[in-house]
Structure 1
Amino acid sequence: MVDVLLIVGVVVAMFVAYNIGGATTGPAFGPAVGADAISKTAAAALMGLFFFIGAWTIGRNVVTKLGSELVVDTGVFTPESSIAVLFFIGIALFVGNVFGVPASTSMTAVGAIAGLGLAGDALDLAVMGEIVTWWVVSPIVGFWVSLIIGRYFYARLNRMVAIERSEGPLLDIDRSGLVPIPRLHRTTNRREVVGTITVVAIGCLMAFSSGTSNIANAVAPLVGSGELAMNPAILIGCVAVVVGAFTIARRTLETMGSDITELPLTAAIVVATVSSTLVVFLSALGIPASFVIIATTSIIGLGWGRATRPMTLPEAVTGEGDSPVSVNALASDEEGEELPPIGEEDPEDVPHAGALFDPATTARVVLMQNVVPAIATLGAYLTFRFVPIFGF
């Protein structure tokens, strides 16, 4: 009977990992695919590779935290309870998709395991407090870092990384020798190369950060139960992620490639870099983090910084000269054009900070990101506490 439950648990874990692969490939490589920097197949391959690297290296820290440290008695991770925890995580993904908001699988996994720990009187409150503290701190850090970038560095970054597509392919393949050698196409310019490399590299960083944090959401309950060792669990989860990246992620790649929350490419790169770096940092500490919440606050911070950039001293004294950072918000500078000095812009072109993001959408994202984990926690507690099969 235990063997059958283990098989069911592995199948459910692979289903969760499959959905993770489908949900995270689009945000990671959508900008690169939308800019024709790489194909969907190449995006899926890179997603699988860097997700695996992140999961195999730093990701095991988060698996250990959720699978053994969050509860003081790992005996609560029976095969039945592990399957139930994975079920709650899968439901969270489904609810998020229904409402059009990507639910945080990390927060939901913690919530479901916390509910299990509460029902079994095995929750480590100190570890739970550490995780919640970082959940509060990390979005604030993302907001302020992005705000500073938006105020002082955005326009310069935009001129460095914006992709200008030239005619013809990016690379030509020289097949005159024994080994084919890729060479830059004769019409390819330096800025195009830098922009392409940057947007693909950021996608790889996001895939890596996803592996460091999300692998635990799929396999931590099974590892905690002792029914599955760490290395085989990571391999199984990564295989399912790759399958998701090559299948259901193709649709999200199309969506994210054409409209990544209405952000220009440079803004998307800034948000992805700040969010991914914070997620990797937290994963190194063993803290499961929500990329979506950090990214949401980063978008707000970046937009706020773009709308409230300071006046330079020459402008204050003479009222002349171009500021090093444009006054327009996120949608400005997409082509790197020079903008007028402060005080000479059309007032209709200078939005206030509150106009840089949709308050209703932001509220819906933040609400769902907190409500879904709360539902998972309460649902898991009631299930494990009052359903006789679990014996708590």
Structure 2
Amino acid sequence: MSQPQGHVVVEALLFVGLLVAVFVGFNIGGSSTGVAFGPAVGSQVLGKLAAAGLMTTFALLGGWTIGREVVAKMGGEIVPQSEFTLLATVAVLFFVGLALLVSNTFGVPASTSMTAVGAIAGLGLARGSLNSDVMLEIISWWIVAPVIAFWICAVLGRYVYPYLDAWLQLDQTPGALVTLDRSSMIPRIRLGPNTTLREFGSTVLVVLVACYMAFSAGASNVANAVAPLVGNGALEMNTGILLAGGAIGLGAFTIARRTLDTVGNDLTELPILAALIVETVSASLISFLSAIGIPASLAVSATMCIVGLGWGRATRTVTIGDALGGEAPQVSVNALTVEREDEVPKMGEEAPDELSAHDLFDPGTTGRVIFFWMLTPSLSAIASYALFSSRFF
């Protein structure tokens, strides 16, 4: 092949690689926006358009700061950088995007990081260059992180949540949160007719925590779109992060609507306090993992926080002694129903029927989400391994 022809082929592959990276980032935005802002949208604190705008801004900020560590890990430590030829990079990103597209089509938040690492691991296994120590470290955190998320929220639900609820009383009153007063020459923003200062403050807090969650999503997920391109030198780190951030924003404004419905409405009906706890714990956990370079799943952590918080609340109907004696807590309850008593009932004194206004979460939806967490990285790894083991590579 002559030099001009070879140059044209390289440029064509790079262009395709950039398109596939945008495709991956687009799907990341569709998946992660639901996880980050689903609780806020589900509790009617934010609309979908506002959630998309905030997701775009803070995901880019997260990728620009601590997300660099994850890009470095995925772009050259799971497999050597030399394995990321342009053709291999395009193939890896394609498998990631395809698996995520399947997940988003069914309206569930996919584990983007697990899918991306699965594709890279398939490449490494086929070439015999997989760094088993790095993979063991990543997989260990994949196992440990959801367990940590569940138990932190379970403890908070059992021992802390009812006291916070009784103290904060984060009600949502009917009507607009704020209104625009046009009675004077300079319009002023005022609290709605039924809005209290406590409600306004709690609403602002929910939005801030959701933005923090979007920050952690960007920190963890920007690498999934551009790490191979950065690893092989096709993109400079800053350029890659900007490209991924823009693609995530595109997904947030379009296909994220389905995952917002799934997390915000189908999975659970979250009160404001529950949304705050879920977002704070899951975002803190993912931000920590991103800072140490571990690509982890925000979707897994967030949902395990939801389930753990509800399970912890449900166990307040029995004491530890009763549970050890065979008295099982009623888990399928609205364990996050607000408390309005001056004194929180002692452990074991809450009747199950006091917590049963609605189901805490839909087991069918939860099972569907878990199924896709396992399916998408498996499909990505298997397809990647099969391709790179073939004679074409």
Match of residue 131 from structure 1: 138
- What amino acid does structure 2 have at the position aligned with 1:384? F
Is structure 2 residue 344 aligned with structure 1 residue 336? no
Is structure 2 residue 378 aligned with structure 1 residue 369? no
Cα deviation digits, residues 16-36 of structure 1 (max 9, x gap): 111211222233223434444
User: Number of aligned pairs?
Assistant: 372
Q: Could you tell me whether the CA contact under 8 Å between 1:172 and 1:183 is conserved in 2?
A: yes
CA distance in 1: counterparts of 2:53 and 2:364, whole angstroms: 36
CA distance in 1: counterparts of 2:194 and 2:54, whole angstroms: 27
Match of residue 61 from structure 2: 53
TM-score using structure 1 length: 0.84
Shift of 1:130: 0.9
Cα deviation digits, residues 78-122 of structure 1 (max 9, x gap): 111111111111121123235554321100111110111122222
CA distance in 1: counterparts of 2:257 and 2:361, whole angstroms: 27
Q: Could you tell me whether the CA contact under 8 Å between 2:34 and 2:262 is conserved in 1?
A: yes
- What amino acid does structure 2 have at the position aligned with 1:14? V
TM-score using structure 2 length: 0.84
Match of residue 213 from structure 2: 206
Cα deviation digits, residues 241-300 of structure 1 (max 9, x gap): 112222333454455544453444433332222111111110001100012222233233
Cα deviation digits, residues 199-255 of structure 1 (max 9, x gap): 211210111011001101111111112111111111111111112222333454455
1:209–1:215 distance in 2 versus 1, CA, 3 Å: same
Q: Give the superposed CA RMSD.
A: 3.0
1:365–1:260 distance in 2 versus 1, CA, 3 Å: closer
Is structure 2 residue 373 aligned with structure 1 residue 385? no
CA distance in 1: counterparts of 2:282 and 2:144, whole angstroms: 13
- Of 297, 301, 311, which residue of structure 1 is paired with 2:304? 297
Q: Could you tell me whether the CA contact under 8 Å between 1:95 and 1:103 is conserved in 2?
A: no
Q: What residue ranges of structure 2 are gaps of 5+ in the alignment?
A: 1-8, 320-329
Deviates more, 1:190-199 or 1:35-44: 35-44
- What amino acid does structure 2 have at the position aligned with 1:371? L
Match of residue 74 from structure 1: 81
CA distance in 2: counterparts of 1:146 and 1:384, whole angstroms: 42
Cα deviation digits, residues 166-205 of structure 1 (max 9, x gap): 5444243679577x65443464312211221122112101
- Of 45, 49, 61, which residue of structure 2 is paired with 1:37? 45
Match of residue 237 from structure 1: 244
Q: Could you tell me whether the CA contact under 8 Å between 2:42 and 2:261 is conserved in 1?
A: yes
Cα deviation digits, residues 25-65 of structure 1 (max 9, x gap): 23322343444434433222211111111000011110110
1:90–1:68 distance in 2 versus 1, CA, 3 Å: same
- Structure 1 counterpart SS, 2:130: coil
- Of 29, 33, 40, which residue of structure 2 is paired with 1:25? 33
Is structure 2 residue 159 aligned with structure 1 residue 152? yes
CA distance in 2: counterparts of 1:253 and 1:175, whole angstroms: 37
Q: Could you tell me whether the CA contact under 8 Å between 2:36 and 2:217 is conserved in 1?
A: no
- Structure 1 counterpart SS, 2:75: helix
- Structure 1 counterpart SS, 2:180: strand
Is structure 2 residue 203 aligned with structure 1 residue 196? yes
Shift of 1:12: 0.9
Q: What residue ranges of structure 1 are gaps of 5+ in the alignment?
A: 313-326
- Of 111, 121, 132, which residue of structure 1 is paired with 2:118? 111
- Of 7, 20, 28, which residue of structure 2 is paired with 1:12? 20
Shift of 1:380: 0.8
Percentage of identical aligned residues: 51
- What amino acid does structure 2 have at the position aligned with 1:381? Y
Q: Could you tell me whether the CA contact under 8 Å between 2:177 and 2:200 is conserved in 1?
A: no
CA distance in 2: counterparts of 1:122 and 1:227, whole angstroms: 21
Match of residue 276 from structure 1: 283
1:243–1:163 distance in 2 versus 1, CA, 3 Å: farther
Q: Could you tell me whether the CA contact under 8 Å between 2:62 and 2:218 is conserved in 1?
A: yes
- What amino acid does structure 2 have at the position aligned with 1:368? F
1:47–1:111 distance in 2 versus 1, CA, 3 Å: same
1:260–1:173 distance in 2 versus 1, CA, 3 Å: farther
- What amino acid does structure 1 have at the position aligned with 2:173? R
Q: Could you tell me whether the CA contact under 8 Å between 1:58 and 1:212 is conserved in 2?
A: yes
CA distance in 2: counterparts of 1:262 and 1:284, whole angstroms: 31
Q: Could you tell me whether the CA contact under 8 Å between 2:59 and 2:216 is conserved in 1?
A: yes
- Structure 2 counterpart SS, 1:102: coil
Q: Could you tell me whether the CA contact under 8 Å between 1:17 and 1:218 is conserved in 2?
A: yes
Cα deviation digits, residues 109-157 of structure 1 (max 9, x gap): 1111011112222211111111111111111111110111011111233
Match of residue 256 from structure 2: 249
Cα deviation digits, residues 324-348 of structure 1 (max 9, x gap): xxx9986245343337666665555
- What amino acid does structure 2 have at the position aligned with 1:383? L
CA distance in 2: counterparts of 1:334 and 1:356, whole angstroms: 9
Q: Could you tell me whether the CA contact under 8 Å between 2:62 and 2:217 is conserved in 1?
A: yes
CA distance in 2: counterparts of 1:29 and 1:203, whole angstroms: 6
Match of residue 317 from structure 1: none
Q: Could you tell me whether the CA contact under 8 Å between 1:263 and 1:331 is conserved in 2?
A: no
CA distance in 2: counterparts of 1:253 and 1:362, whole angstroms: 14
Q: Could you tell me whether the CA contact under 8 Å between 1:306 and 1:329 is conserved in 2?
A: no
